[in-house]
Amino acid sequence: EVQLVESGGGIVQPGGSLRLSCVGSGFTFGDSGLSWVRQAPGKGLEWVSYTSRDGRSTLYLDSVKGRFSAWVDNAQNRLYLQLDSLEIEDTAMYYCAKNGPGAFRPLVYRTDFRYWGQGTQVTVSS
């Protein structure tokens, strides 16, 4: 059974930083790309990042480029997301997801990914 478990969320002031982690089990890390997806209150799902299965390339949502960084540690079965220069608009539930669409795009649906974690809440507030 594939399982994805996120951690690392919290409450932070604007300009602050957080590091999210997603640990996977029930599959071979590196058999597919891994993604971070977020959902702000009352809004749709935004595809934040996609990291290729070999970990060599990552695509980012335009609004987080230069502020967020994602990477995978296949030996640890973990996907990370470093969030720097956080803005109030980054407040959302952040999900780790697997087996998604073939083309990266800003908005996605729940059904676009086969596997999801339970999410970790990031709140940016002064």
**CB 84 within 8 Å of CB 17:** yes
- How far is the C-alpha of 46 from the C-alpha of 117, rounded, in Å? 15
**Which residue, among 50, 7, 2, has the nearest Cα to 27 in the 3D structure?**
2
Tens digits of residue pLDDT in 41-89: 999 999 999 999 888 999 999 999 999 999 999 889 999 999 999 999 9
- Distance between CA 29 and CA 33 in Å, rounded? 9
pLDDT-derived band of residue 102, with 50, 70 and 90 as boundaries? confident
